[in-house]
Amino acid sequence: MLDNLKKYRILLASKSPRRKELLEMLDIPFEIHTKDGINESYPASLPVREVAEYLSRLKGKAYSDDIESNELVITADTVVILDDKIYGKPHSEEEAVDMLMQLQGRTHTVATGVTIATKEKLVSFSTFTGVSFAPLEREEARWYVEKYRPLDKAGAYGIQEWIGCAAVAGIEGSFYNVMGLPVHQLYKTLKEEF
């Protein structure tokens, strides 16, 4: 569809099966290309709404040094924000349950930063989506965590799973952003910037 991308070998730098699935929905041919050892820390003074884009840029710069002139790499990072605090991936099942109990009955923001890099150019953007959780009992949160094991997900949940049906009362913005890749904004940026 996007003729301007035919000159590139497109690389998705992500191990996330959800990002792979979402990028496939755009019908853009791509390959998965990942590497380990990328520093994913950010300054404590960085405003929370800038963290996801900052981390995607860190990843983008790490890959852009290694790519060929005909390659284009896409990196992304997703965080959950509540009360000016970042909720990343939980380190344990108990931490995941605790995260969900802090999110329940409230509205939080899901922020995804995306960076698109070639040898000559690096473009980044952020997308924000408001997600409202209904009240959730601790035993429901524990059951979800034990069954779905959301330890690889920011905020300890996947909206496309049981919890999205049972506990997400409303959403303002991009659903796909909450899954981990704002494909509408990505498509628009690829079309206009490359």
What whole-number distance in Å separates Cα of residue 181 and Cα of residue 129?
11
Task: Just list the catalytic residues.
Answer: 77
Rounded Cα–Cα distance for residues 84 and 192 (Å): 32
φ and ψ of 153, to 5 deg:
-120, 135
Which residue carries 């996007």 as its tokens? 2
Quick check: 153 and 18 in contact, CB under 8 A?
Answer: no
d(CA 4, CA 2): 5
Q: What one-character-per-residue DSSP string does 87-148 give? A: E---SSHHHHHHHHHHHTTSEEEEEEEEEEE-SS-EEEEEEEEEEEEPP--HHHHHHHHHHH
